[in-house]
Amino acid sequence: MNAPGLNPLLAVDDLTIGFGGRPAVEGISFSLAEGETLGLVGESGSGKSATSLAVLRLLPPTARVAGGIRFAGAPLLQISEAEMRHHRGREIAMIFQEPMTALNPVMPVGEQIAEAVRAHHPELSRREVAARVVEAMREVALPEPERRMRDYPHQFSGGQRQRILIAMAIVNRPRLLIADEPTTALDVTVQAQILALLNRLRETHNLSMLFISHDLAVVSQVADRVAVMQRGRIVEQGAAAELFHNPQHEYTRRLLASAPTMTTDRRRPLATI
Ligand SMILES: Nc1ncnc2c1ncn2[C@@H]1O[C@H](COP(=O)(O)OP(=O)(O)OP(=O)(O)O)[C@@H](O)[C@H]1O
Ligand SMILES: [Mg+2]
């Protein structure tokens, strides 16, 4: 486990995001070291996705963003859009919250992964791009990549579609992967497989990961450290095991008590907080 070093890969400093009215995110700060996974956990509407979209500068133009975000030293909120495009999808990759809408239903999955490669490597030949697609599909343990790259999203299971999105995210060898609720839509068995896959990928590639979930039990399986968000603020932040076994903040305790675990029935409605 990495401690947040003097030069973190990602440093979010006093970030505030407003859409009009009460800020959706209010003065949060956290950092992420190379190879480290930070879990961002909190109930629906606490500002998790808004935070991750701010890092990628993908919030709508109406959003007011204040504070600092540094990635590998670059001030992401200040650099040009051209510089941002260099980071986005290449050095910082994201798995979005809705796996069904993230894939184009009328394009073969291999073509979609290839687009991600070509966006950042226009110099590669068709053959070289195809080789990277197959390699990425193999890395996420999709069977028979040479054949299945021609198939369409609906020809895959939900878990396999999530693997395709992960392949798309890692194909350009990012340094930071932002995963927004990557397992929420999946059943418990498949969820465990995807978590194992993410853990394996971050070890092989020394990947830093910002892992977002409303489920503290899931987060504590992948994260080195966890930040707990409530209504736009970070109320508690610490080592995952420590926070899971010895939560200090009342909200974290309630989150633990209400969250489904790998063993409870996920079809039951969540207790509200
Ligand atoms: N584009 C937007 N326009 C206006 N308000 C927004 C927008 N995006 C988010 N919000 C508001 O910001 C707050 C935080 O939303 P966000 O999507 O970050 O929550 P979340 O923690 O990701 O929730 P969930 O667990 O449901 O995904 C919410 O009150 C939401 O309504
Ligand atoms: Mg969200």
- What residue segments make up the domains of the chain, in order of their start? 1-91+176-273, 99-173
Question: Which residues are near ligand 2, the ion (C-beta closer than 5 Å)?
Answer: 49
Query: What pLDDT score does 184 carry?
Result: 83
Query: What pLDDT score does 100 carry?
Result: 67
Query: What pLDDT score does 199 carry?
Result: 94
CA distances from 130 to 118, 127, 218 (A): 10, 5, 34
Q: Which among 267, 260, 187 has a CA at the least distance from the CA of 41? A: 260
Q: What residues contact residue 193 under an 8 Å CB cut-off, 6+ apart? A: 159
Distance 27 CA to ligand 2 centre (A): 18
Query: What pLDDT score does 263 carry?
Result: 45
Burial class for 137, CB neighbours closer than 10 Å (0-12, 13-18, 19+): buried
Q: Which residues of the chain have pLDDT under 50?
A: 1-5, 262-273
Amino acid at 249: H
1-91+176-273 falls under which CATH superfamily? Answer: P-loop containing nucleotide triphosphate hydrolases (3.40.50.300)
Residue nearest to atom 1 of ligand 1 (CA): 60
Q: Is the CB of 19 under 6 A from ligand 1?
A: yes
Q: What pLDDT, in 10s, does the model give residues 32-51?
A: 999 999 999 999 999 999 99
Output 28-31 pairs: Cβ under 8 A, ≥24 positions apart.
28/227, 28/229, 28/232, 28/233, 28/234, 29/234, 30/227, 30/234, 30/237, 31/4
Model's pTM, two decimal places?
0.90
Which bound ligand lies closest to the C-alpha atom of 213? 1
Query: What pLDDT score does 270 carry?
Result: 46
Q: Is the CB of 50 under 6 A from ligand 1?
A: yes
Distance 49 CA to ligand 1 centre (A): 7
